[in-house]
Structure 1
Amino acid sequence: MRQLQIEIESIQVSIFCEIVLDVLKKHRSLSINKVLVFAYLIKKERFIPKSVYNGNNTQDIIYKSLSLLSGDYLEFCNSVEFIIKAIHILKTSGDITVENDLLFVMDNMYISNNIFKETTFLEKAIEYSKNMNERQFMKEVTDNV
């Protein structure tokens, strides 16, 4: 049973390593808090066949994206552990750097085909979130979770 748990954790961490790297390759830098939230949303969207929002949405895009967390508190909390482990592995391996709570991807990263791609809607939400301060962003996260 213990071996099965280790295998499950390894798969979860590797999925989030891929997602975090993909997000940072596209957006160059993002705060740890925002990476936690958006990595979870990207993984979650992979299993939702039809999203409520699409790339045409432009108003209140951050609030709409965070509304996707509604009713998912326990699963989000469980995923945070794996996302943090993924960030640690990527930092230890030298793929990303951390400076003042911001994650940066190294310039020599290769482009790969990822299974967990962010939608146009989430891509826009991530870009808009860069203009929101951390306190306000986390307040919105807690309001929606």
Structure 2
Amino acid sequence: MKNLKLEAETIQVSIYCEIILQILYKHKELSINKILVFAYLIKKDRFTPRKVYNGNNIQDIVYKCISMLSGDYIEYCNSIEFILKAIHLLNENNLVYIEKDVLHGSTAVTFDKYIYDESMFFEKAIEASKRMNDMQFMKEVTHIV
């Protein structure tokens, strides 16, 4: 039973490693608080059969993206552990580096094919979130979740 739990944790951490690297490859840098939210949402989006929003949405795109956390508080909180372990693992292997609570991607990482596709909606939401400070962003997350 213990081996099964360890294997499940390993899979979760590796999934988040891939997602985080892909986010940073495309967006270069993002705060740790925002990485926590967007990594979870991108992973969750892969298993959502019908998409609520698409790349045509531009009004309040960050708020719409964060709204996808609604009603998912426990699962989001459970995922934070794995996302933080993924960040730590990537940092220890010099694939990302942290500077003043901002995660930066290494220039040595390249992708031929993305495992977890970042939709146009998420791409726009991540870019728009860069215009928000972390306090405002997390206040919205807390309000919605």
Q: What TM-score comes out, normalization by structure 1 length?
A: 0.98
Letter in 2 for 1:42: I
Distance 1:107 1:115 in 2: 19
Question: Partner of 2:125 in structure 1?
Answer: 125
Shift of residue 96 of structure 1?
0.4
Shift of residue 115 of structure 1?
2.1
- Map of 1:33-112 to 2, 5 A cutoff? 33-112=33-112
The answer to whether the 8 Å contact 2:65/2:125 transfers is: yes
Q: Specify the SS of the correspondent of 1:114.
A: coil
Distance 2:113 2:121 in 1: 19
> 7-16 or 117-126: which moved more?
117-126
Distance 2:113 2:11 in 1: 17
Shift of residue 93 of structure 1?
0.2
Number of residue pairs the alignment of both structures matches: 145
> 37-46 or 112-121: which moved more?
112-121
Letter in 2 for 1:85: K
Shift of residue 88 of structure 1?
0.2
Q: What per-residue deviation string (whole Å, max 9, x for no partner) do you get for residues 53-88 of structure 1? A: 000000000000000000000000000000000000
Question: Partner of 1:3 in structure 2?
Answer: 3
Question: Partner of 2:22 in structure 1?
Answer: 22
Overall identity of the aligned pairs, in %: 59
Q: What TM-score comes out, normalization by structure 2 length?
A: 0.98
* Structure 1: tracts of 5 or more residues without a match: none
> 113-122 or 38-47: which moved more?
113-122
Distance 1:41 1:57 in 2: 17
Distance 1:132 1:60 in 2: 12
Q: Specify the SS of the correspondent of 2:69.
A: coil
Q: Specify the SS of the correspondent of 1:68.
A: helix
Letter in 2 for 1:20: I
Q: Specify the SS of the correspondent of 1:98.
A: strand
Distance 2:125 2:110 in 1: 24
> 58-67 or 115-124: which moved more?
115-124
Distance 2:80 2:90 in 1: 15
> 12-21 or 115-124: which moved more?
115-124
* Structure 2: tracts of 5 or more residues without a match: none
Runs of 4+ with deviation above 3 angstroms:
none
